[in-house]
Each structure stands twice: as C-alpha cells, then as structure tokens.
Amino acid sequence: MAKQNTADIGFEKEIWKAADLLRGNLDASEYKSVVLGLIFLKYISDKFETKYQELVNNGEGFEEDRDEYMADNIFFVPQEARWNVVAEAAHTPEIGVVIDNAMRLIEKENIRLKGILPKNFARPELDKRRLGDVVDLFTNIQMKEHGDSKDILGRTYEYCLSKFAEAEGKLAGEFYTPACIVQTLVEVLKPYHGRVYDPACGSGGMFVQSAKFIERHQGNIKDISVYGQDSNPTTWKMAQMNLAIRGIEADLGKFNADTFFDDQHPTLKADFIMANPPFNLSDWGADKLQDDVRWKFGIPPSGNAKFAWLQHMIHHLSPKGKIGMVLANGSLSSQTGGEGTIRENIIKSDLIEGIVALPSQLFYTTGIPVSLWFLNREKKQKDKILFVDARNMGTMVTRKLRELQEADIKKIADTFDKYNDGTLENEKGFCVVVALGDVAKQDYILTPGRYVGIAEQEDDGIPFQEKMDKLTTELSDLFAQSHDLEDEIRKQLASIGFTIK
C-alpha cells in the first residue's frame, strides 16, 4: 500500500501562495479556476518538454510529431502554447490573452480537452500584474517532479479548495474527499476490473485512487471503465483535467448535470460505485420525483438527500456490484421522514456488508462525523453485517486535521478480508459480526458503537481503593480551586459596583 501522508504539504503551500497573490481582486471561486487552470497548463507543458527533449536527443526529427506524444499518453502542446511563451509574456499587458490563446490551441490539438480548459484570463477584472507574478512562481516549479508520486490536481485541489472555503467562511466538504478516506474505500472494494462509477465525482479523486490501487497491485488500468457525474461546472471541468493528466479515459457525461434530475448514465450497471455525496443535502427536489423508479426501498424525505443518493447507487449496481460511500452519521439511526423505514428495508434486503465509523476531524472544513457504508449484491457472509468502530484511529497531523495512516487503512481492509473469508475474530471495541436478527432487535440502527462494545482495559496493577483515594483527593483540590475562583470573581465584580444575586 502506498504511503498516505498529506501532512507534508509544502508543494501545496507553494500553490496556495500563487492563489494568495490573486486574492485581492477576485472571489475565491474565480481565482480557484485561474490557479488550477495554470497548474494544468504548467504540468502538461513540463511533461511535454521532457518528451520533447528526449526526441531531440534521439536526433530523428520527430519532436514535433503529435503521434510520438500520443503514444506515451502525453498531450501535444503547440509551439505558441508552450510555457516558455507564457513565461516570456508574464509581465506584459497581453499575458491574459497569451494564456487564453494557449488554452485554445491545446484544446484544438487534443480532442479530449475540448471545452474543458478555462479561457478567461484576459478579462479586465483579473489583475495582470498579479497574474504575471503567479506565472513567475509557476515558472520556478517543476510540476513533473510531483506528478508521478502525488495526486497533483486532486491533492492540490483538495488543499486549495479547503483554503478557499476557509477564506470565504463556507463549508466545502461536498466538493472533495480527503485522500485517506478515498483510499480506505478503494482498499476495501478492490476495483481491479469492471465499471467504476461515482455519481458525485467532485475532482475525480475516487477514480485516481482506483487507478493507483490497480498500479500497486500490478493490474492494468485498461481493465476498468470510468463513469461519473457532477453538478458543479467548475468541479466537473477540474475532474476532466485531473483524469486527463493521468491518462484515465472517463465518461463524466456530456456536461455537468444534477444526478437526480439529469442522470448522465441512465442505463449504467456498475461493478464498483464509490461516492462522497454532499452531506445532508436539503431541497433537492424530492417533490418532483415521488414516483421515481430508483426509490425501491422508500421515498426519501425532501429535507435530506442521503437515502436518495444511496438508492440511486443501488439502482445503478450490477448483479455482482459493490458500493462504498461516505454518509453523515445521522444516516445510521435517523427515523425522521421515513428514513428509518428505508434503512430497515435495505437491511432486510441483505445488501449491507459492513459499516465503519470514522474518527472526527478528517475533513479540512467540516466537523460532521461520518461513516463508510459498504454494500454488496454478492455478499459472502449472508444475513450478517460487519461493524467496525474506527473512531480512535488516525493521527493528528495538524492542530485541526486528522489522517488515517497506512496501518489504519490496512487494518480496516484486512478486517473486511477476514470477514469475507470467515476467519475474522470479533475484537471488543473495534469490530464485530452481527446477525441481521440482532440488528432487527436494535430497531435497525447501524451505529457501530452499539454493537462492538468497549475495549477491555489492561490492568495496571493499582488497587481500586488506591485509585479512588487518589481521584477523590484530586477532585477535592479542584473543588477548592473553583471556590477560590468564585470568591475572586465576586471581589472583582464588587470593585466595579456589581454583585451576584
């Protein structure tokens, strides 16, 4: 398993510096598009230049032959669109026009990018002096050095988007999923081959991690077909660019569209579905979809789309398909709006393979506690559900951010492997296999903590009476301190003419 650690975000911080240069006169949503568009342009330029020099050194005169680049899945960059042209124009009034022209030329030469690249750098409100400064910063960054080992757009997009959202005071959890969560989904599902689908694909992180999983296990990326959709036009384009960089051919629909009202893949039956749909989406249009064929287990309430997302995915599942998705913890126990009945019906259908409760603080910009749901049409352990309580896992990599580490992800994936093999032993406080009948006795509530119990504490050898004497003494001291503080507060208030009644 590849090492997972986004604590080392020096590269992302460099990119954020670029974004910060433009912060003064653009909204976050606008300079996000500018900065990430330049990331893409610089990255493909670096890749092109490396191949170009290789062909020049070969001395056979093929350095301007498009086929030589296409053979290595490298985008061909026309001469007028190469980074050296952009860099030379960095501090001229025409820098915006030069970049827009480069984007158009690249789209013309590479049909996969048609209509995807941003071409709004020449607009008057974009400060050309600051844009030139960003170009200078990018000129000094070798994107190709990061591209093979890091999710250049996905990871940078994740970092920058969180900073954009933080700067704007908005939550942005619905637009991206931390890599450690995606990797956990992928390691459990193991999408070696077949159709992979994400109906809320964001910047394409699920697909990128699937490709990496296949590479790590010596598989062939051509053995999977990728399908996705996203309603946000900017995010949809970022996903197209993110996947294009990696040579992942994906069908993300003809355009960005609402998954519930304009399903871009109506006949798709996927083998692997992975998603982190928007948390607790309200006013999603339930009143207009009351008789929808997807609501096999019950009509989702208008106030929350979580069971609409889940049923949409089940509808698109092949006869041997699996689902791994992120849902807010309310989905485990909610009874409002008929959600309890929907959950009960799904449980009775014996689709749910396992539930994993995740630790808090995994997301950059939201503290909503979440769980992973795993469903499988071909469960090996019939009439049973695996519950994993991973709330104590992960490591704080910053003051606010926690990450699941490689060992954590492996432990969760191994637990599912053993469960499916029938060799798993229950571990109190961490995992337990529960019969559906016992879940029914708990009113079909799926909160893992209800089933796994509390881990046994090791005996530290200190007698109980001694522990209690120590604790009561400490508590007595704290009470005394509180009384002293209370007296001091009363004195200070009295000194300015106030008394506590």
Digit-by-digit pLDDT tens for the chain (501 residues) are: 444 444 445 667 777 776 677 766 666 667 777 888 888 898 889 889 999 999 999 999 999 999 999 888 889 999 999 999 999 999 999 999 999 999 999 999 998 899 999 998 999 888 899 899 889 888 877 665 554 434 455 566 556 655 665 555 444 444 567 889 999 999 999 998 999 999 999 888 889 889 888 888 888 888 899 999 999 888 898 888 888 877 788 999 999 999 999 999 999 999 999 999 988 888 899 999 999 999 999 999 999 999 999 999 999 999 999 999 999 999 999 999 999 999 999 999 999 999 999 999 888 667 778 999 999 999 999 999 999 999 999 999 878 789 999 999 999 999 999 999 999 999 999 999 999 999 999 999 999 999 998 876 555 667 778 778 888 888 888 888 888 888 888 888 888 888 777
For residues 352, 356, 361 and 367, what is the CA-based torsion angle, rounded to 10 degrees? 30
Per-residue pLDDT at 8: 47
H/E stretch holding 195: strand 194-198
Maximum Cα interatomic distance, the chain, rounded to a whole number of Å: 94
Distance CA 239, CA 405 (A): 25
Per-residue pLDDT at 458: 57
Write the secondary structure of 89-130 as one string of H (helix), E (strand) and C (coil): CCCCCCHHHHHHHHHHHHHHHCHHHCCCCCCCCCCCCCCHHH
Contact criterion met (CB below 8 Å) for 161 and 386? no
Question: What sign has the CA pseudo-torsion 233, 235, 240, 241?
Answer: positive
Return the DSSP state at 47: H
Q: Which residues pair with 403 in a beta bridge?
A: 395
- Total residue length of the chain: 501
H/E stretch holding 251: strand 250-251
Per-residue pLDDT at 477: 82
Quote the pTM value.
Answer: 0.81
* Residues ≥6 apart with Cβ < 8 Å to 198: 204, 206, 207, 227, 228, 229, 273, 274, 275
Distance CA 169, CA 20 (A): 16
For residues 409, 411, 414 and 420, what is the CA-based torsion angle, rounded to 10 degrees? -100
Distance CA 349, CA 153 (A): 39
- Give exposure, 92-128, as e/b (b: 16+ Cβ within 10 Å): eeebbebbbbbbebbbeebeebeebbbbebbeeebbb
Distance CA 160, CA 278 (A): 19
Other Cβ atoms within 10 Å of 255 Cβ, number: 11
Distance CA 164, CA 144 (A): 25
Query: Mapping DSSP to helix (H, G, I), strand (E, B) and coil, where does residue 158 land?
Result: helix
β-bridge pairing 384-389 and 431-435 = antiparallel
How far apart, in Å, are the Cα atoms of 166 and each of 48, 49, 499? 35, 36, 42
Query: Mapping DSSP to helix (H, G, I), strand (E, B) and coil, where does residue 3 land?
Result: coil
Distance CA 89, CA 482 (A): 67
Distance CA 432, CA 383 (A): 14
**End-to-end C-alpha distance for the chain, whole angstroms:** 64
Contact criterion met (CB below 8 Å) for 144 and 50? yes
